[in-house]
Amino acid sequence: MALLEVQNLQTHFRTPEGINRAVDGVSFHVDEGETLAIVGESGCGKSVTSMSLMRLIPEPPGKIAGSIRFQDKDLLQLSEHEMRAIRGNDISMIFQEPMTSLNPVLTVGRQIGETLRMHQGLDKQAALARAIEMLTLVGIPEPARRVREYPHQLSGGMRQRVMIAMALACNPKLLIADEPTTALDVTIQAQILRLMLDLKRRVGAAIVLITHDLGVVAEIAERVMVMYAGRKVEEAPVAELFRSPRHPYTQGLLGAVPKLGSSLSGAARRLAEIPGQVPSLKKRIDGCVFAGRCALATDLCREVAPGLEQKAPRHIVACHYAPRGAAAA
The pLDDT, as a whole number, for residue 239 is 92
From CA 291, how far away is CA 319, in angstroms rounded? 10
Low-confidence ranges of the chain (pLDDT < 70): 1, 98, 183-184, 260-269, 326-329
Give CA–CA dist 20/172, Å, rounded.
32
Give residue 269's pLDDT.
65
Confidence at residue 328, expressed as pLDDT on a 0 to 100 scale: 46
The whole-number pLDDT of residue 329 equals 43
- Centre a 10 Å sphere on the Cβ of residue 325 and count the other Cβ atoms it contains: 10
Contact 152, 104 (CB under 8 A): yes
Strands of 4-15's sheet, edge to edge? Answer: 18-30, 4-15, 62-70, 73-74
- Residue-wise pLDDT tens digits, 120-163: 888 888 888 889 988 888 888 899 999 999 999 988 788 888 88
**Alpha-carbon span 162 to 138, nearest angstrom:** 8
What pLDDT score does 327 carry?
56
Which pLDDT does position 68 carry in this prediction?
94
Candidates 196, 183, 181, 169; CA nearest to 110 is 169
Ranges of each domain in the chain? 222-255+272-329
What is the pLDDT, as a whole number, of residue 234?
Answer: 95
